[in-house]
Amino acid sequence: MSIPTTPRTAGPLAGTLVVDLSRALAGPHAGQMLGDQGARVIKVETPGSGDDSRSWGPPFVGPEEQPESTYFLSCNRNKESIALDLKSEDGKEVLTGLVRRADVLIENFRTGVLERLGFSTAALMELNPRLVVLSITGFGHDGPEAARAGYDQIAQGEGGLMSLTGSGPGDMQRVGVPIADLLAGIHGAYGVLAALLERERTGRGKIVRTSLIAGMVGVHAFQGTRATVAGMTPEPGGNHHATLAPYGLFSCRDGAVQISVGNEKMWTRFCEAFGLDPAAPGFEDNGSRFAHRDRLIEVIEGVFADYDGEELLAKLDAAGIPAGVVRTLPEVYAWDQALSQGLKITAEHTSAGSIDLPGPPLRFFDATEAGERETTVTEHLAPPRLSEHESVIRSWLED
C-alpha cells in the first residue's frame, strides 16, 4: 500500500515510512534525521504525557494552556504524532498495522521491554520481513551491564569523554550538549541507511543496534589510539589541542581568537606575520612547541595583546592562518554563513505559530550539464502536538 501524500514529497527518502517508538533524544534524533531527508516519520507516544522530553523545561513556548518544550522541538521536526497505549489491544493492533507497512522501526526501550509487549525482534520480522529495526540502548543490548538505563551525562563519563574534557587535568567537564545521545542517533541513522541499501540486494530487513556508550567510544579518534597504542591516559587539555601547538584559543586586546597552526609551513608564515623567530629554541618543530606549550602561549598572547580581535583575524587571514572567534548560539543563528547553509529553518507550529529551528546538516545536489542543481528538502514540518495526527493515521490504516 502506498504512503498517502503529505506536504513532504521530496528528498532521498521520500516514500520511506519510519515508525518511531523512541523518546527523549537518541532515537528521536535518528528519526528526525530520516525525516529531514523526506521519510514519513510516525511518532508513537504515550497517551496523556507523550514523549518524556515534552516536559523537559524551561523554557517552554506557545500558549499557557498548550506549552511546548523547546527541548522536544529540537529533535522532532518532520514527524506526525499518534498516542497509543501499547499494553492495550487497540494499541497493539494499531502498532501491528504500522509495522506491516513500515520500512524502519526505531526504539530505545530498555532491553526486554518490546518483548514483554509482544513485539520481539522475531515477531517484528515475522510481521514484516523487509523491516529495518533500529534499537538504541544505553550500554548495549547484551553484555554484563546491558540492563543499565542510559542517560547522556552518565554515558559521557562511562564512555571516557568527560575524562578528556575540561580546563586541565583534574577538571573533568561534560560536553555542553547531550553528545552521547546525539551521536547514538547519528550512528543509528547511518546504520539504518546501510541496512536499507543492503535490503535492495537481499529483499530482507535487518536489526541495527547501537548505544550511547558505542557512540562515545566511536569518537575517541586519536585520543583512543593514544590509549590503545601508546599506552597513555589522555587528560583534559582545556582550549588547546592535545598534540598540536599552537592550536587553540588565545587572548587578544578585546577578547580572544582561535588559531590552528597545522604544519610547519603555517608556523613559519605565522612567525613572519608577527615578527617571531620560527626556529627559536624550544619552538623549532611541533614536538618542541608542544613540550613548551605554556611558554608558547605566553609568547603568542603577548603579541596578540596589541590587536583587537577583528584586526587580528584580518592579519591572520592575510597570512593564511586558519582562525576564528567563539560565537554565542544567537550569533550563530544570525550569521550569514550559517544561514547560507540552511542551518536555520522556519516552520509553522500548530499552537506556537511560526518558529525558528536549527536546520538539517546535509544538502543535496544533482550534477547537470548546466551545473549543479540543489535538491535539498526546504519545506519542513514543525514538531507535532501530542497525537496531532491520530485521525489521519488511523484512517490511513483502515484503507
Which residue in the list 181, 254, 285, 399 is annotated as catalytic?
Answer: 181
CB 33 within 8 A of CB 361: no
* 51 exposure class (CB count in 10 Å sphere: 0-12, 13-18, 19+): buried
Asked if residue 297 lies in contact with residue 252, where contact means CB atoms within 8 angstroms, the answer is no
Give Dmax over CA atoms of the chain in angstroms: 79
Cβ pair 357, 74 in contact under 8 A: yes
Active site residue 181: yes
Residue 53 to residue 293: CA distance in whole angstroms: 43
What amino acid is encoded at 215 in this protein?
Answer: G
CA–CA dist 133, 136 (Å, integer): 10
Please name the residues in contact with 270: beta carbons below 8 A apart, sequence gap of 6 or more.
Answer: 246, 259, 261, 276, 278, 316, 319, 321
CA distance 63 to 53: 18
Whole-number Å distance between alpha carbons of 311 and 327? 17
CB 286 within 8 A of CB 340: no
What is the rounded distance in angstroms from the CA atom of residue 111 to the CA atom of residue 142? 8
Torsional sign, CA 128, 133, 137, 141: positive
Q: Judge contact between 152 and 179, C-beta under 8 A.
A: yes
Q: Is 366 in a helix, a strand, or coil? A: strand
As a whole number of Å, the end-to-end CA separation of the chain is 9
Please check whether residue 25 is in contact with residue 60, taking contact to mean a CB–CB distance below 8 angstroms. no
Helix (H, G, I), strand (E, B) or coil at 28: helix
Angle at 329 between CA 190 and CA 214, to 5 degrees: 30
Total count of residues recorded for the chain: 399
The CA distance from 145 to 391, in Å, is 41
Active-site residue numbers?
181
